[in-house]
Amino acid sequence: GARQQTNLCNESLMLEKLPACGKSFEEMMKKVDSKKWCNLTEFIMYYDSFTQCTEHEANNASCFWPNPLTESFITGIHKQFFSNCTSNKVHWEDPPDEILITLILIPVMLTCTMITLVVWCSKRNDIL
């Protein structure tokens, strides 16, 4: 039968080539004001080029992408450029008591009114 040849991942070649992707990304990020590094829309094209570069280098070394080594490299780049970016979590608070009571009572009163109306109409089937 036909023999299938499999290429083994050359991790050392990949690790040798990945820093070029990081250097290229670093050069592109110099064009962006560091105050805007947390705004993805400011550098999305640069980041896309960076990820394509890491994928290309991994594939050239016969490695799948992503893999633990490229993930570690990408994490290092994230720490270098985006360590000061935090997600602002919304802190939810209950509305004031007056509003909360109103929001609860309106559906309760509507339900009671509808039940009363149904019972009243069912007792008056002589009209229907």
Decide: helix, strand or coil at residue 32. Answer: coil
Reported as a single tens digit per residue, the pLDDT across 86-116 is: 766 667 888 899 999 999 999 999 999 999 9
d(Cα 16, Cα 12) in Å, to the nearest integer?
6
pLDDT higher at 85 or 78: 78
Read off the pTM. 0.62
CATH match of 11-83 with 1.10.150.510 = yes
Mean pLDDT (whole number) for 48-76: 95
**For residues 77, 81, 87 and 88, what is the CA-based torsion angle, rounded to 10 degrees?**
170
Q: Is 34 in contact with 81 (CB distance < 8 Å)?
A: no
Q: What is the pLDDT of residue 6?
A: 59
Domain ranges of the chain: 11-83, 95-127
Phi-psi sector, 67: left (phi>0), alpha (psi -120 to 50), beta: beta
Amino acid occupying residue 30: K
Closest CA to 57 of 29, 16, 25, 8: 16
